[in-house]
Structure 1
């Protein structure tokens, strides 16, 4: 969020990163309380994050192509899903299907955007790497989550046998959160760079790491820019 402001990269990516932060806050509230209301703060923001990403990919140019029509339709769609989930189909499967379909739409449209542009080798490498790492994180987390659901009692037994700190390795629900956090971050960086390429600014930027493992978009040669 800071880099989007620092480099004046518009409100769309700022909103995407902000939505991701909101997902993290909602998830923390839910796991701290285990209440239904905070569960909604965990699950529904995931849909809203996808909506922001989808908007950023569809409206990737400097000026919106569809005016208020597209964001209004997107808002109505998300509002319909939210109301349906809250008052009619209160099933985790409904949320998972809605989230999965929206995520697939984002990935498909992102790949379509990549094919539309003539990308430099530098940008192509970054986009391919961010896309790959994003999927590794998301699908790895999804696998860990499902294994934890299926083998929960057995994993508890194994954790009690190995003891601390090795039992941490078998906390698969925790690994689900870590892997999906990294996966979603890399996919947001992928979307961010698609946006930069669309605006013709991608040659000025690259992906760097804070503390060796926290990726962010940064200027390639900040001294030359200054």
Structure 2
């Protein structure tokens, strides 16, 4: 599941950020586009994480949503920034800035659905337990098991737990058909985005040499379409945002405010929670 591809065409000693120290190096050729950026397309595609998270943050602040909602949209933006820095430098320190915030984001979403009500049910027990778990994963990953597969499995289990608890919460509630449709759209979009991203991520790993050959034949700008790790960023950004909107709207429904809100899009591509527009009465 991990990826190391050496670039024989360039001398690592000439890299702007110096030789790679990360435990991962993806299929995009290093410093092929820009002297200052190791993996240019893998870097810039992370802007999608920041743009989507900013749309969610704007909505959360505008409608004075709970701090946990603000926290997980902010965490999503940090995921994008950390990943951008990692792909720009291919350093171990920035790799951690990419990978660990993914875990923290998933944990924040998990906390949000466990403590979905306005008043917390378990007090400090849940945040302490989740924080201890994340601290343990962090220390193990940094000092003991530095294999990226450990991080990937831990992240996947946290996301699966979040989806499972969210489904349970949804099954406990009496929801209107409209609210069910809104929630289902976000859940399906989130799952499809994450699975689609996982598919192209694996294709990028397995068929890297062939993809590099095809990119050389296509040349710029069409070769960008075969930067599959960049597509992983775009698809998982949408998948992540859709799941966060699902969790967000689920809590709105839990508080009984779902008839007042809906989910719309800015500039077609940026979904967000907003006040529902009442229908005109003829």
TM-score normalized with structure 2 length = 0.78
Report whether the alignment pairs 1:96 with 2:152. yes
Larger Rg: 2
Q: Does 1:69 align with 2:125?
A: yes
Shift of 1:223: 11
Of residues 36-45 and 154-163 in structure 1, the stretch that sits farther from structure 2 once superposed is: 154-163
1:55-92 per-residue CA deviation (whole Å, 9 max, x = no partner) reads 00000000100111110111001000000000000011
Structural mapping, 1:13-28, within 5 Å: 13-28=69-84
| Aligned counterpart, 2:242 | 186
- Which position in structure 2 is the counterpart of 1:46? 102
Give the SS at the match of 2:140. helix
Q: Does 1:143 align with 2:187?
A: no
Where does the alignment leave 5 or more consecutive residues of structure 1 unmatched?
Answer: none
> How many correspondences in the alignment?
224
Correspondence 1:57 to 2:109: no
Q: What's the TM-score, normalizing by structure 1?
A: 0.97
Pairing of 1:1-226 with structure 2 (within 5 A): 1-221=57-277
What is the CA distance between 1:222 and its match in structure 2? 7.8
CA distance in 1, matches of 2:141, 2:269: 36
CA distance in 2, matches of 1:149, 1:72: 37
Instruction: Provide the secondary structure at the position in 2 that maps to 1:117.
Output: coil
Alignment partner of 2:116: what SS?
coil
Aligned partner of residue 119 in structure 2, secondary structure: coil
Secondary structure at 1:215 match in 2 = strand
Equivalents in 1 of 2:86, 2:259: separation in Å? 41
Structure holding more helix per residue: 1
The secondary structure found in structure 1 opposite 2:262 is: strand
